[in-house]
Structure 1
Amino acid sequence: MASSSSDIGVNLDALTCSVCLQIYKEPVALPCGHSFCRVCIETYWESKEEDTGCVCPNCREVFPQKTKLKKNVTVAHLVDNIVNVKKGGTGGTWGTESHCEVCNGEAAKRCVPCEILCCEKHLKPHQQKGHKLVDPGVKIEELRCTEHGKPIQLYCKDDESLMCLMCTGGEHQDHKVVAVEIAHSELKGVLAAKYPHVSQSMERVASQLQQVQKEKEQTENSSRDAEDRLEEKGKLVCKLVNESVDLMKREINKRKMEKLSLLGKQREKLEQQLEDLRQGKSTMDTAFQKMEAVSFLQGSKDVLKMLETMSDFTSVKRTPLPVLDFSKEEKNLDGLITLNKKFLEKIQNGRSPSLDQNSAHRRIKISGDLRTATRTGTENQHPEHPDRFDFYEQVVSRDCFSSGRHYWEVDVRSSRLWGIGICLNSMGRKGWESGLGENPESWCLRKHNNKFSAHHNDRRTSLSIPGDHERFGFFLDCEAGELTCFGDSRVLHVFRGNFTDPVKPAIWVWGDGGSVHFVHLVK
């Protein structure tokens, strides 16, 4: 029988019956100290026809009379535990991932060749034999070659792969192969050399992250305080304007009632005069109808007296009333409106950028109003120019900003794949390094495969933007060093950089037929 078991990795010689060469079954001990299976020793004695008595199969000691067989309790206990381990039983903690498989103590290491867990005490024989030792939690199968099943002892530097001795005769024959211990030592040396740099970088990044978080909190608090103040001021302005308008409306109503009262009195007087004139005219008409001379003369005195009264009407003049004039009050309101309008225009500066024909890639066609960039399937006959992009289908605006605040919007409904942002005027226009967001000199919002992302210096930040927006807004604050990207009045991303260096709005269009349009903002 082999001296070890691959299943449990324990030396079984001491637990093997020398008669049947199997693990003890109901072990019993003879007076000489040797143990055997009860059935094996009884069968052995029955098969021997010796008058001298019972003989020990191992040491040949003779017992004059048949000895009483007693169970070897210690050996039986060991056998029971080992059998449980081999069968996967749970009758104890023997042989578990944390206990020595010899004494059931706390395991310190696992011996790879013997496949056994050992405590510090039972580990020494394996150390003296130079066996490979690993931590208790390491699985043996992970330390064997997947192709040959042999222990991994070598490392191929060319393929950066682990291998066993049998692997050296194959494709690794001419490769640079070293012992895993040497490769381990070398790699640890490389990592040790990089460790301080990584630690320092972690400290710097952690410090920067802390500063960013602090600045974020300060920005949020500052913004919240500013919004609260503006809200209060807005309410106050609205209150004052409403009170002013109400006051002017009351004054207008007062003056209107005064003038209407005077006009009413004048109207009553004029209506009375008109009625008197109608009666006089009627009297004259009656007198003219009296053709008989005596009758006419008899009534002429009354008619003449009435005419004298009517002659007074010609001297009556209507007193002109003052015209209602609120131009002064309206001028004050107009001044307030103009002030706010100029303030908003100063913040928004909503002039739409126009595209630079000399920068457009040959597959980009620019519209006549210089606001739309369309990706074409063939190259356009653009003349050579040092500002023209020659690798990516991009174009920049003619407008260049280095101070102030600027806002523009872009219509993307005709393009599924695009990139929109800004770039330094000094950014290169040639070669693969000229892509928007692919270098330190450009900042770009992109849509690709219905997913949105922000790019700068060849770094990508995924954005969660629900829906399919047709317009995107961009607010550039040069002094603050911020480019804020909007979608449906919602902040999508904020780029930060040195925007006091001249920058230009820029467009990148993928996909034949796709187009992107700078929206004309009406003030």
Structure 2
Amino acid sequence: MENLLTTQPTPRETGICCTYCVDSPVPAVRSCLHCEASLCDKHLKVHSKSPENVLSDPSTSLENRKCSVHKKILEYYCTEDATCICVSCSLAAEHLGHRVESLDEASENKKKLRNVLQKLITKRKETEERVQSLEESRRKAQEKASGEAERVTALFIDIRRRLDDLEKRVLSDISRQEKEKSLSLSALIQKLEIQKDELSRKMRHIEELCNMTDPLTVLQEPDTGDLCDPEEGGGDEDTGGHDNQRHDVDDLDVTVISDTLHTLCDIISGIRSGIYVESPVDILLDVNTANNNICISRNLKTATWRQKELKRSETSERFQDSSQVMSSRRFTSGRHYWDVEIKRSGRWMVGMCYPSIDRRGGQSCIEYNNKSWCLWRYNNEYYVIHDSKWIQLPHNISSDGVRICLDYEAGELSFYELYDPIRHLHTFTTTFTEPLHAVLCVREGSIKILEGDRKWEKPS
């Protein structure tokens, strides 16, 4: 038996067996620090009755629970030195007067940090969520900046293209004018050279005639009728024609330069008002407002004039005496534009009006009231009209498209001819006091509201 006991590992070596159960070792559930023994449930009852016994969870070694100086069990905790001490240490000079707690008390106090830990965990989670949110915001900002950069790059590419096209067109016009003027001047120079040669011939003939001494020879000289004074008979055709022709071939026409400056201003204005950036608004015609001589297409985009009236119900919204129709959409703010195709219409008006416009009588026509603004084509001439005040445009519209631009807050309603580049026709400036509706007036043919942007070229 002794040999068996000496060969068996001690509980201190195993750290799991009860000290008093060597023959039949069972796992220890507690350790008695005072007895330096590992105990099972059976032997724990005796040791737990003694107050001097200090119990703890089983440990692989009890040596680390002893004071390295006094070799006594560590039972206390010095809060000021933050170290575990034994009874002898608590009485030593280095810990004298310090606050000392039992290990259990100090342990429980330290475990209170769990609340702090939980708060820190929550705070860290919130911080991580905030970081994720900021990273997402940064990603979105980068995407937006990238999109804006692409949009601006595309915008300036378009501007450069428009400026290049404008430069080519202007230089082409100047070159054309130069050729025309050069040909005209060449023709005039040739004509004057002929006149100069003829005058020289007459001068020589007269000099020869004046130098003759024989009267009979002078009188018998033929073809003297064309040697009359240039101021008499036929002189106006030479000198007067020369003067007139000189005025006709005066300096080059500088209006092309003026048009160029206006076009440049239009490009800049277009950029500021978003003409080249934004998309056109979706305009649908309101059948309930259409005059009975106006037929509206199924997609509510085209208005066509018909001589035979349609049998629609008479409502307070419908135009009774003017062949007009309004849009169902109204505008109370912002910047917008929409395009129309007018190639199938001979007589038309396009513009915008207040919903309070009259629906009966002469005042209901959009050129005869102060509640509408329009562009009018009549007898191949173009006018802008508001409140019976007509302004004739200096240029006719060569393209088949017209753009109407609204800047509600700025109080501006502008009309443009649609070809590349776009050309400004006129801008009304006022203060809008009501919502605005698009309005079409068709007195011949049809007008179509276009969807999306189209490239227009000036017909040759």
TM-score (norm 2): 0.39
User: Normalising by structure 1, what TM-score?
Assistant: 0.35
**Which fold has the larger relative contact order, with Cα–Cα distance below 8 Å and residues 6 or more apart in sequence?**
2
